[in-house]
Chain A
């Protein structure tokens, strides 16, 4: 269970948000909404441990994530604005390396199958720099099919994706939620994801 207690974020002396409280249990979804510049990305970076809240704490099963360190990183998957796809590596190399970094070592055959599921067949041996933005995003999202973590933190996962890819991601997230996963995501698009409980968090 992930809990945020009284989280506050400052940019210079401006308070971006404060007093954010929430808790998410297995099978639940939290959508973070708010206009540009309201601190959605800052909040998500706090939740995955990349940034430290100015006050308050984020806790996983009751303990502060700062003290858990790598034990916490092994149960979460974070997908940020920057997709982490290397232009000079092929699609398949990108997937193998990012999933190895996430602790799942896969062979080329598995990687090919995953890329096919993401609609990237015949693109396996291409350098990522020749792919379109949407295709790069698909490569980054392919990791979701491999990792076995308990919490996904997705920052704008749907940017640059076409309708069929959005549908695909929606299905992946729904299946994951049904299996007891937790998802926190930000998106500007309207998307209806079925979950047992959907929390809405508004930042203004």
Chain B
């Protein structure tokens, strides 16, 4: 294959990675931005989303598109409910203390992971894509499903942006993010906002997992990579910044795709980690974050 088409293929692969990464990292970034806590269990919500997608598509027989559509709706809802319960039972009781939250979410990570191992097993299991269409470009054919992942993620990111910037719920979330105490003094039930944001963050990770699982397979240890990459993305983009998250996900995802195709996936990870180190040294608040005052 000539260089141009090869580059296009690598870019498309990178865009798929970036799309899923942006959704996952956005969940992590929202939780940090509004609640000021680091959720180490975020990758496990991603894994749960994928495992539940497998379970739902396995139960629903017939047209794979129906099972997949159900998984796309039910899996994030179930994961969101689990996250909400975890927030009420654990994080609220430790009053969102940053250090205690890290330890608590590490505990949550192991609990979810081991429950998945117990009830789902150690195997990697495939989920059938909802459709198998091949888009024929002049130089090569490309999966229509992968292109639909990019489109679906872009739509969801736009919807999240719309909710955050153009609705009352978004205004309440932003006010809570900027000043929790003053938000309470104006009637905002901060505890309920925190519960909703934690659930929403987990749901975004679960949606990302459902979208990617027909390509990757569901496995009980699959949460680690998205967690690490999400941290890389939110550090580069700036914690709590939606725009930064999307730009950083594109940067990491597309460069990962191109470097992996032309050189090696290991080199892609080395470069991503180096970029994080540089950002931490020269712009600790991230590309679009606000410096702490």
Q: Do A and B bind each other?
A: no
A residues in contact (CB < 8 Å) with B: none
Question: Which residues of B are in contact with A by a Cβ distance under 8 Å?
Answer: none
